[in-house]
Structure 1
């Protein structure tokens, strides 16, 4: 009989069968079938592993996820530092105007406040959009490295600024880098995270952005007392710490295996997976899993366009991603982040005390984001998001009510509600937004769908950044804490929309999600629906465990 180690495998007929009946199965088909079996078995293995087993199984994978998540700290620090700078005395004296109502005091004009905050969001949109195109051609690693170089240079412009205009220019360049990071990190972590901890890993994008503001708040509390330019320059140059440490890891980071498979670079993809997974069999299986997911969705070797995001079943997926991310801007997060210190001052809190409360607010942010890990991966994304919308709605309405009462006790209550927003937002919405928007899109459109979702949120944040100073500042709307009515009413609508439109994606592989959307499964049936991909994975896993040959 011919050797089976070359072109084909021959299976002889039974002894009592007619002579000369021999069936030939090409070896390539046997290998492909075995690879598909192993790829589906790996999907079931992902389902079987618990949260804690997953954390212990592949430390190298967790390390590279951590490198990318550290990079996200730049965004949170930059946002908080920018909001703190405009309330630091030396910064206002250096770049502001004399305050006619307070002799010897200075202020940054409302127009510059709006420009710095609002335009920053616009340039963040530009950064996310550029990244979504560049990553399709060059991959994650080159674009991430280029973004870090841009960030380092822009911080240098801010640090050496001699005018408010120069500071504005440096900040806008930095916001391009921040927008790029938002897109790249979320998509990269979504693609390589194991199923059992996927929401925690993606949700860590939110916690990373809470750590930055916490550090910025502590720094501004102490540096604001200094009577020289280092009172504000120290906040700016601290961003180099995030960037330089991130760059040290980014130089060696593995490329996304999904990108490599899409480009047909299977050898490179297998090598990368070998760096991520401890068990070589797992690396082989995940290569087959990625190939299966792309082939089942019909998107292998393609670069999706923005128009594709609004075609067929992807239209629904894009809408969900945009809807959940808009919760970020519609809840008033941009207002709280950019004008927190000023809001406390307008409520009668001293500069020093407002900075101290700001530190406590960031502790609450990190606490909420940390607790959200367990809710999302153990109880589900849909539950967390709906609960988050409802809780933030009630909190904002309470803040508006207390802000309508002119007593010291009511003012203190407003401060409390305003500060507690940081906990409830990050526990219910902050992490869930990234997890849902990162999981919902199909693999080929993930970067572009995320760019659309983030850009929609940033577009509304831009609008709020220009509008909010005129709503709550004295001399204009002067709503102060009553601004809670505005955002509370909007979030009441989001609570209803979340119930009808946001599906449960917990414990779903990307192949399963593709099938759920292709079959147009109703939102509230996602959790119970049994997919063909699930059944195939279970059968393949059982066959492998029993040693059944293909």
Structure 2
């Protein structure tokens, strides 16, 4: 049931990937572009037009992400996702019927609002419903469906690109109605998250929801224990007054401000790895680099992206969050610098450098898809306490879309040739290589390991953990964490001479 909610990722991936190919379609360029005097019968899409059309979606998603918190808290996670589907359909309808650029851009904006809402509500819903043992894998499925959406968009774009009328670009856009319908209809049967129901003082409904999600009767000990943990954590949060946007930035014993900073940073860095550049402008980039059939290369890149997400789903709960994030950033950093070095030292119009660039981009995509693609969403969805979870997640997802917008807006000016542009071409990967190196430093300092812990146990972990404590002697090692019905504090019962802390929390019987 919870994995089905990941279907919302198809909406995000498909919408992101569709515009990548549409910008190169002849009929779309003829409809919205300008005649190119240097090429008879060809139409020019200026850098400013590319930037506006692509980045306006990200502007909408930024507002949608910020609006996701009040929507999720007021209506619930499930109803919020259904509402986001309706907003998306409005944007798709405007784009499909557009005959002028203004209508098309407005449609892109409303589609962005819907995508922004989905991008916060799906991982929020999954995190709050998933059993702790497989939460990483389930939330990673969200990233998998994003890659599936990207692949579907590239395949459909490749299929319709040679049509000589408006259907070449209207068909790929209109197919988004199908994805919205499937998600909307499916959510009619899925339960609301038990944590939101407890927050809304609906304990009986929360017990029924959790029992359905765990395939157990409502009075089963496991269900009642988990509900008790949720209730204890919620009561403690209410006592300290957590629940507003201001609380997301407060310096508190359980380090809410640190968590908010970490989530905002990890979502920003996910975009700054350069992945957005590939998925928004990959077709244009490959074409400018002299690579034949850039549409086919984009399909290949998206196939690699989809298949290599699967190891990330497995690794989230088996290898852990930190090893995947660190390893993925290192591999991406190396590949990005190698692509740039090839661009400086060779002519990418030669066959061998072309193949090398494609191979390195595929390895780069594989490293992202199996690490930063899914794990950034996993971390964002699990590190916040219940009362501020929706609001703090909205800030972090807003960061995702803010940097998505910034890169989508700036990338054409950085990479494209022509007057007023930086004309970096493949050398733009020097920038992405540097930001990937920054990712390594950030994860090492600020991201603790959270695999195998419930959301309430993660809350306790942050009370014991500090980004300053990076040495083996100082690092907190959590072996058993349980929420106390009376207090959230862990009783430290053992500290070995080697310095590996072992924390144990006692549960008081009620």
TM-score by length of 1: 0.83
Q: d(CA) in 2 for partners of 1:158 and 1:421? A: 32
* Residue in 2 that maps onto 1:365: 305
Q: d(CA) in 2 for partners of 1:540 and 1:467? A: 53
Contact 2:65 2:116 (C-alpha < 8 Å) held by counterparts: yes
Give per-residue Cα distances to partners, 1:119-163, cap 9 Å, x unaligned. 221211100111111211221222222111111222111111111
* Residue in 1 that maps onto 2:130: 193
The alignment partner of 2:7 has SS state of: helix
The alignment partner of 2:164 has SS state of: coil
Contact 2:479 2:504 (C-alpha < 8 Å) held by counterparts: no
- Structure 1 residues 133 and 173 mapped into 2: Cα distance closer, same or farther (>3 Å)? same
Q: Aligned ranges for residues 236-275 of structure 1 at < 5 Å?
A: 236-275=173-212
Deviation at 1:376, TM superposition (A): 1.3
Q: Aligned ranges for residues 119-518 of structure 1 at < 5 Å?
A: 119-280=56-217, 281=220, 282-295=222-235, 297-299=236-238, 304-311=243-250, 312=252, 313-350=255-292, 353-407=293-347, 408=350, 409-475=352-418, 476-518=421-463
- Structure 1 residues 527 and 340 mapped into 2: Cα distance closer, same or farther (>3 Å)? farther
- Structure 1 residues 196 and 530 mapped into 2: Cα distance closer, same or farther (>3 Å)? closer
Number of aligned residue pairs: give it. 478
Q: d(CA) in 2 for partners of 1:302 and 1:256? A: 22
More displaced stretch, 378-387 vs 327-336: 327-336
More displaced stretch, 527-536 vs 187-196: 527-536
Deviation at 1:333, TM superposition (A): 1.5
* Residue in 1 that maps onto 2:487: none
Deviation at 1:530, TM superposition (A): 4.5
Contact 1:321 1:441 (C-alpha < 8 Å) held by counterparts: no
The alignment partner of 1:267 has SS state of: helix
* Residue in 2 that maps onto 1:108: 45
The alignment partner of 1:72 has SS state of: helix
Contact 2:336 2:430 (C-alpha < 8 Å) held by counterparts: yes
Deviation at 1:514, TM superposition (A): 1.4
Structure 2 unmatched ranges of 5 or more: 484-489, 492-502
Contact 2:416 2:422 (C-alpha < 8 Å) held by counterparts: yes
Contact 2:128 2:195 (C-alpha < 8 Å) held by counterparts: yes
More displaced stretch, 75-84 vs 403-412: 403-412
Deviation at 1:529, TM superposition (A): 3.3
Deviation at 1:91, TM superposition (A): 0.9
Deviation at 1:520, TM superposition (A): 4.1
Contact 1:136 1:303 (C-alpha < 8 Å) held by counterparts: no
Deviation at 1:328, TM superposition (A): 1.5
Contact 1:76 1:212 (C-alpha < 8 Å) held by counterparts: yes
Q: d(CA) in 2 for partners of 1:519 and 1:245? A: 43
The alignment partner of 2:407 has SS state of: helix
Contact 1:361 1:420 (C-alpha < 8 Å) held by counterparts: no
Contact 1:293 1:510 (C-alpha < 8 Å) held by counterparts: no
RMSD: 2.2
Give per-residue Cα distances to partners, 1:190-246, cap 9 Å, x unaligned. 111111111111111111100011111111111111111111111011111111111
Deviation at 1:386, TM superposition (A): 0.8
Q: d(CA) in 2 for partners of 1:116 and 1:155? A: 14
Deviation at 1:437, TM superposition (A): 1.1
Give per-residue Cα distances to partners, 1:467-498, cap 9 Å, x unaligned. 21111111122211111101111221221221
Q: d(CA) in 1 for partners of 2:475 and 2:238? A: 23
Give per-residue Cα distances to partners, 1:52-80, cap 9 Å, x unaligned. xxxxxxxxxxx2x1231112210100000
Q: d(CA) in 2 for partners of 1:418 and 1:134? A: 38
* Residue in 1 that maps onto 2:31: 94
Q: d(CA) in 2 for partners of 1:520 and 1:256? A: 28
Q: d(CA) in 1 for partners of 2:23 and 2:363? A: 23
Q: d(CA) in 1 for partners of 2:191 and 2:328? A: 35
Q: d(CA) in 2 for partners of 1:532 and 1:428? A: 26
The alignment partner of 1:474 has SS state of: coil
* Residue in 1 that maps onto 2:486: none
The alignment partner of 1:528 has SS state of: strand
Q: d(CA) in 2 for partners of 1:266 and 1:89? A: 57
Q: d(CA) in 1 for partners of 2:78 and 2:404? A: 29
